Structure 1
Amino acid sequence: MSMLVVFLSLWGISLGPVTEAATFFETQPLLWAESESLLEPSAEVTLTCQARLGTVDFQLFKNGVVQETVHLDAPAIKHQFLLTGDTRGRYRCRSGLSESWTQLSELLELTGPKSLPLPWLSVKPVSWITPGLNTTAVCRGGLRGVTFLLRREGDHEFLEMPEAQKDAEATFPVHRAGNYSCSYQTHVAGAPSEPSDTVTIKELAAPPPPVLRLDRESTQVLRPGSKVTFTCVAPLSGVQFQLRRGEKELLVPRSSTSPDRIFFHLNKVALGDGGHYTCRYQLHDNQNGWSGDSEPVELILSNEKLPAPVFTAEPSSPNPEPGTRVRLRCLAPLEGARFALVREDRGGRRVHRFQSPAGTEAHFELRNISVADSANYSCVYVDLEPPFSGSAPSALLELRVDGPPPRPQLRATWSGAVLAGRDAVLRCEGTIPDVTFELLREGEPMAVKTVHTREASANLALIFLGPQHAGSYRCRYRSSWPNTFESELSDPVELLVTES
């Protein structure tokens, strides 16, 4: 994914669509080969690394290892590297950015004299088509001034860019679903390059749903008059958002810091505002079509005027064994109420789960418990009929689970040895969400890769491998908030790196 320098301004909007006020600046450099040097049976090849901003520093990598570092006397927008000897390999470059470096360029692979570098195909802004969306396929080659060819699996003809491009890439509009690949040729009579890897573009009747979240302060049992903020995130930028309760659109104040998301503000909620909320979005070029609704997010409010429920646990011990199950029972003097299990820890109070039983009691289960479940628990209930009163909280029940969390499993997403200059992805799978995963190499105390995710597993990618990356790897996960814990290391996975 491209690294972006983002200049953001925060704006407030009421009763209107989002105005994009974010400016994105691409910093990833471009790398290409000079066509003359590749088509001649010569031992020399020239690679050009072009920065997005003037810089005095350029660096070229081959097969995951630094090949050459250049510090110029004056800032330049590009630098040419002359390759001699065996030029076959996988190359990337980067340029200086302030006191550091940009991310690496896209991969450029040279397979030998008179051979063309493999192209690379991507889809923007997303890998699907739907009415109102302009989806494009971008084919990037290793040469400038070539003619690009796009092919859809099952079609006999290429979609061709008729004139040679000054840039090393071409953009094709995509109107049909399918599996696409691209290639390029240096002149009309020339043979095309080998095709790129295939990308799949799907056709959707409507855009996929966004994701709706509550800010942390709004996930607790709210009091009337509280402020609530929803965040709705779409899979692409430049859309119009809508907050809904049931089938009704809510015209509330809104703001944003990024064109792919919006914050909806409920400044003073009342008892009747509890319930399920969803959001959706609309493409600017399709005013009649909306995305699917997000998964619902629920608000619960209580004025604490109803009697507190009775809250018990089975087993009743405050120190249950790891891996066991705890049953929590909440009993209210009211039928048909909405119940909420509330968790309280260093991060504050927040609703953990909801239930709407037919009778007067709700049963919540905590399965396969671990140190991550250590907290104080209580429950409340609210009347679903006007005036929508809610109960006082029950007495607190304390749960303290000792010992490390379950050990994760690490698995490779490849088989055999990995080619130098390629990427390797290891998947670390745990059982606890919202943690930080770490990948560690045998013999090194510091993690080589760290990823925080809301999920219970994560992909840990090693980019542009070189011989120095070979070794044995393990993973673990940890949390410092609200509970502090660290898992044991997984079993090892061996990474082998080969030059060919």
Structure 2
Amino acid sequence: MPTPKPELWAETNFPLAPWKNLTLWCRSPSGSTKEFVLLKDGTGWIATRPASEQVRAAFPLGALTHSHTGSYHCHSWEEMAVSEPSEALELVGTDILPKPVISASLPIRGQELQIRCKGWLEGLGFALYKKGEQEPVQQLGAVGREAFFTIQRMEDKDEGNYSCRTHTEMQPFKWSEPSEPLELVIKEMYPKPFFKTWASPVVTPGSRVTFNCSTSHEHMSFILYKDGNEIASSDLAWGNPGGSTAHFLIISVGIGDGGNYSCRYYDFSIWSEPSNPVELVVTEFYPKPTLLAQPGPVVLPGKNVTLRFQGIFQGMRFALLQEGTHTPLQFQSTSGTSADFLLHTVGAQDFGNYSCVYYETTMSNRGSSLSTPLMIWVTDTFPRPWLSAEPSSVVTMGQNVTLWCQGPVRGVGYILHKEGEATSMQLWGSTSNEGAFPIINISGASIGRYSCCYHPDWMSPIKIQPSNTLELIVTGLLPKPSLLVQPGPMVAPGENVTLQCQGELPDSTFVLLKEGTRQPLEQQRPSGYRADFWMPVVRDQDSGVYSCVYYLDSAPLVASNHSNSLEIWVTDKPPKPSLSAWPSTIFKLGKDITLQCRGPLPGVEFVLEHDGEEAPQQFSEDGDFVIDNLEGKGIGNYSCSYRLQAYPDIWSEPSDTLELVGAAGPVAQECTVGNIVRSTLIVVVVVALGIVLAVEWKKWPRLRTRGSETDGRDQTVVLEECNQEGEPGTTTNSPSSASQEVSVELTVPI
């Protein structure tokens, strides 16, 4: 969709002589506009202004001179786009009003036609002229910056050239130049197409909108118009050319996409009449209005009801919507801030939720948020309200409680009645606290049976029904009863459960309570001391914490203390237990750890499991398991579970894992002593080995190196002949040579 064009107009503080001080204003329907540009005669004079919070900019001209004469229009700039130009405003002289602009839709024989004359300034009079006639054919007083002249039924005699002029309201009149002529010619046309949106035309920003334009004629092309300007045709991008239906899509609606849409179809030179317009309203730009029904929201069939909508801004257009309908029921333009919509002779079809929206028609139908829905009841009897107590209808002495009388009818008063009392409490208004009756510091005087009803603040023959009866019970005045469950506190879905409330006094009424529920679940008056509350085919929602109280028939509603709470579990698998360690999860020297497994149900057997063990390690009925750390076997991850003794085959989920570890304290010291002993033994062994090696070394043969000044036996491993002075291989007569005939030499590298 193209960026919508802005609106251009003029303002002055000299209504009798506007040309003495004139300011041009440019306003954009898009909230993302950053800047405005004003141009004269296309490019002759340019001025830029930043956008204000109202998305508009002022261009002061001051007193008009001949240099100001010309045709002006403005553009709005966004991040990456520039809008279409506004309508041209023409200044024709220093003492003449700006030339107005005349326009009209296509004239259709026998139908009403409106001719629009835009005059640029507020507070001007308007006159419509037809060529060939001296006097104006129609005149209108000051109606803003534009006026609409109406031809009630277009006939051949109404064809011709028309123009319009504006003038000041005070004598002597100062007139504008005539507008450019507008020729009205009746042409033969196809009937108007059927035009609608697939969803409601009142949409939020970002919504997807599809316009449907259809006709019974085949092989037609279609044109989509917004505010009288052609914006799309039935080409491949927009619809099915040559068909009898075209769809025009806006993928994501923006604030500037609101406006009055219509369509036409054509075949060669013959066009259809324009369709009925669809007002596309984009909401959430202005605050929501309020909605009231007069005389009230409950109406007898055949009577009238007025829906009054109160907005904030003047000069807006209001639209009435009913939940479940496709298009707004009614539209109404008003000069004030409110609008009244009459629903005449209402029937069953008028029953439902209503809301409204207001919007400005000059700026792309920028609208408010929807009002809060209001239900209209078409009946001869008020719907029955419901009375409840918060936090509960069973309270202790001195506690505060609020009685709530609530129903579907808004904007009415309420009456709270206590049985046995002649006077009632009344509450009026349609605030968020409607129907709330606080009772502070409950005492014996507050005990009793209550009911409430609507009390309309208008004279109405509609019948009123009382609410349910609520018994306000005060506890803590009798001994508490006991509460047991059969067959047990855990049952599978679909089974039956009986809760047994045992009191201490006969002739009592027993009351069953559930935590989180305002009202008692059930009351019984048995002949003995016990009431059996039967719960058949229990479901998950029946799980919870239950208790009971009782009161004597001789002193009704003065009840006992609450019984002990009893938790009921409706499940195929019991909830997992918790696992904790005492005194801690860290082993100390010579100390054991007790693991404590706790579950929510009584009468169970617990089992403790240690990672790495093929079978459960220990069983316990009280859930306590003593763990030692002999040889470090106590360290590791543990979990526990349980089973009901009545259902030994059903095990709970395992608890969260708990890890037992060694410590950096005494346990670590124990490990350190052992390491020292081991290290000392190793050192002793190494020293002993060293001594032995040294002794053995001294026993080895010591051989001498030739030329050594010492003994030489430690420096060589050469075995010499007995005759050290002789040459190798010679024979001597030495006794040594007689004992060793062969000389052997073994060389070991040094």
Q: Give the TM interval when normalised to the shorter protein.
A: 0.3 to 0.5
Greater relative CO (CA pairs within 8 A, separation 6+): 1
- TM-score normalized by the length of structure 1: 0.46
Greater strand share, structure number: 1
- TM-score normalized by the length of structure 2: 0.32
- Structure with bigger gyration radius: 2
